Every structure is written in C-alpha cells, then in structure tokens.
Structure 1
Amino acid sequence: MSGLGLANSEYYSRATQTLALPSSAPSAKPGGLGHARAFSSAFSPPSSSSSASISELAVPIPSVPLSEILSIPPIPPDTASFASSLRVLSFKNRRADRSFTLPASASYDVDTGLLPNLEELDLEGCNFSDSVPVARIATGSSGATTPTRSNEPLLSLITTLFPNLVTLNLSYNLLTSDLFKAEEGKPDVLSRILFLPEGGSQAVPKTKGLKHLLLKGNRITNLDAFAAIGRDGLGTGSGGNKFTLEELDVRDNEIVALPPKLGMWPLEVLLVDGNV
C-alpha cells in the first residue's frame, strides 16, 4: 500500500513536521475480551460505516508502518524526502497490528538511523512487549509485496532506527525489566540512549541526546540495568560521554525498590509514584 495518503493535513502538520496516525484496536474475538489491561484513555478502531473517512480507512494497519512512510515522495516545495523531514511521530494507541514494517532494501548508518531528524517518538498504549514483530517488505517488479518477518528487541530496534531522539514515550505498554537487557555481542542499549558520545562524524546531525524517557504504566519490576551504568561519563569531561537524560518517568509499574545509584544521576525529574 502506498503511504501517500498519510501526508494529508488530517495526519501531517508541515509547521511542526509531525505525523500523527489515528488509534486502532484489534478486532473483537468471539467469546473473549482480548487483552485485559486497562488504559487511561478510551479509543475505538475506525468504523466500517459511512462515518469513517476514506483517508482513515487507507491508514496502514501496523502500529509503526515505516515502510509506507518511507515511500512518501517529497512534498513540494520541499526537495528532501518526506520521512527525512519528520521531527515527531505519534503512533499512540495503535494496537490493531502490534508490529513495525520496514522496507527490505532499507539501509542506514549507525549514527543517522532511518529517520535522522526524528526527535520525538510516541508509542503510548500500543500494547508492545519487550520484543516486537518486524516485517521487512520487498516489492517485486509486479508490485507484489513479500514480507520477511522476525521478532526484535523493542528498545534496541528504536535506538537503531532513531538514534537522535530527544523524547521517547513508551508508557502504557506491556514492558518488563527485560526491555533493558543487553543483546549478546552488541553495545549496552541503555548506554546507547542515555549517553551522547563526544565528537563524532561530521555527517551526523547535531544531536541533543535523549532527554525524556517515559515508561509509565508498564510491568517493570526493577531498574537493575540502570544501576549497572557506572558513574563514569555522567559529566561532560574531555574524552568522555555526556549524560543527557533529564526526565525518567516510571510511575505505575511494579518496582519494589530504587537503586541508590539513581541518586547520583543529574536528573531534573524522576517520577516513581504508584509502584509497590
């Protein structure tokens, strides 16, 4: 499906370079209520009646349809690609198909990722787990699509695709403490998002580093992975890494105790209400 319809004014604001897709919910299953987790705001899937707009019905079903977004051509008078201009993506409460789509041909560098200018990503209420289904879609000469599917760690995927985020909202999902586990043979994912390397390639956009990490309303039981991050690099010393996080929101989880080392972090806001 072409993503061109996503660029209309119903979903896209040129002034703020924001794309916000409508919420969606899975189809009701006979004799069941689906996921029992309650959310703070009510929403419903697009109606099949005449009240549903044509553009609403054309929105891709996956929660994060990056393959379709990347297919949108530049919008005149812009000459840069539509996707590369985006600064904010909102996929709030999109639960009909809890997955990401990517073009099979997508290539990106570790510094710029897939959307180099994206600063804010909102995935609140998508019912994501620590790992998510990813469909990499190849389009043949006939126009037919062939997806290759895999499950990938959510936080590592986000960090790879959007390395220049300032705000990441993962509130009201199904995330546990395993979200922060390091993958074998790869750099620690928390260090990758909480520390901004000094220097870097000239080709990399000027980044601010992640400042707001919102994890309210999940199933996190401990912050041991945060405690494992050393004191080194929290400042701005020469040759070191700069600690950028200003706000950490872990309200309404299942955390028994906070690591004392969190008190050493130069956070401006630490929200912990509603834990056990």
Structure 2
Amino acid sequence: MIQKNPNIGLHQYEKKRHGADQLPFAVYRSKIPQGFTYYPMHWHEEMEILYVEEGMLTLMVNGQKYTAEAGKFYVVSPGMIHAMEEIPGEHAVYYNVLFHLNFLMSKEDEDHLNESLLHPLLFGTKHFQVESFMSKEEKKEVLHTIKSLISYREQQEEEGIGFLVKSDLFRLLHGLRHTLLTSRDPMIAAGQMERMKKVTNWLLENLTEEITLASAAKFAGYSTSYFSKFFRNYTGTSYLHYFTMLKLEKSRKLLEATDLSAMEIGALCGFQNYSYFIRTFKKHYETTPKQYQMRSREKKRV
C-alpha cells in the first residue's frame, strides 16, 4: 500500500488526492482564463507533466519562467515549486498528468531503477529538465506516450487499466532518460525551498492580516531587500502581487462554494475595504464579486 501523503492545494502541501492508493495517477483538463487566471505556487510529491493542447500560458518552476505553448510538454519533478498564470490576451487549454513514483517502485531492497532514478527523483537529488531538449523523433515518442496517458482519463475505473498506465509511465521515464539532471547543491536548494514553503503556508494561514513585505521578510529570516529578490526569483512575481492573488483565489472559491455575501467573503480574505475588494477582483476576473457569485449559482441550478 502506498503511503498516504498530504498533497498540495493552491499554495501549500496539497490535501487533494491524485488518484487512489491502488492507482496513484490522475489526469486533469483545465482552461485559462475560463477556470482561473492564476494558480499560485504549490508543490507535491507526485511527478507532473503539463501538456498544452492549445494556446499558451506562463509556467513558473523553481523560479524559472517558461512560456508553455501549444503542442509542447513540460516536466515538473517531485517537490518542485510551480505556478501557472494567464498571459494577457491569450487563452490556454492544457492537461496535467500526475503520478506518484512509489507506484513504479520495486519492493526489492536493492533495485537498480529504484536506486538510480526513482529515489533520487523523490529526494530531489535528481530532476528532469522542465523543457526537454531532445531530438524531434524523441519528442514525438514522448508526446505519443503522454497522449496515451491522457486517454486513460475516462477509463480509470476499468478493470486492469493499471497495467496500461504503469506500462506507459515506464515508457515515459524511458523517453525522458536523457534529460535527467543532477541537482546543483541539493541541500542548499532544498533548504531554500523549505523556507519558501513555510512562508507561503504562513501567508495562507494569515490571509485576514495585513502582512507587509518587511513582516514576511522577518518571518523568513531575511533582510527586506534580499527577501524581495528571493521571493521574485521563486515566484516570478512581487510579494504584494502574490499575496493579493492568494486572497483573490480564496475569495473566488468562497464565492463559488458558500452562501456568504460578497462583503463577508472579502473581509474573510483580508479585504477590509469592500470598494478595494471590488476593484481588485474586477481587475483580475473582469467581473465584480457579486456578479461572479450570481453566475456561479446559476451554473449550479443548471
């Protein structure tokens, strides 16, 4: 039985399970901006493949920014901090393929694949290139495998589907084998990521507070100037923008899921000035909180 790990949500270690213990594999199809405009930093133990079906979006992985384009795939190794955001004026339809490497591990104590690949990936001492540099034929083969994995999205309840999924996952790792890298200064990188994770968790737990850049820097144990650069390097955005987007995403989900008024939800998400909440929400979602809530209720009735 695979150990149950707390998974990551929008900004912390996820509580959402991807797949099941017997088949820790899941495929999600998303749209930007219809579903959301910004998916804040998060991380998980699962390996993730992002395949863009159409359009383009911004992908941030461990502080590196990528323009994810149609027809291309991107690899997020376990534990990597990543985020996705709309490119103004663009749309995107994409798939996330997530799977836990435990699913592929042998139970033998001394297994070459476990020791040379799967354990290093889980422990962060090795990782795949996010944007793979390989030959045209190699990319074609990997894309074929990814599309095969996506096709299982509607078949996960079928008897024996795990054999096909596991077979394609091994084929995927085989196709990516030449893009495997040894992490530089893994202990330092891991320490920095842990510090960033603690900061983002702390921000999530204190959305109702007005947490300044200086306060966040003090919590992280950095000077304000260094923290500002450090934060932007990891997230690709400023501290203020990130914290505001956390609040907005929280408010958007509450507008969808609760009967609280827009004013109450704004206050719960740290917007003490209701007019400012309306302006900020409309700027990012092109509608007011109240209009968004009404549309969500209409969709539920349909």
TM-score, normalized by length of structure 2? Answer: 0.25
- Name the structure with the higher helix share: 2
Larger RCO, structures 1/2 (Cα 8 Å, 6+ apart): 2
TM-score, normalized by length of structure 1? Answer: 0.27
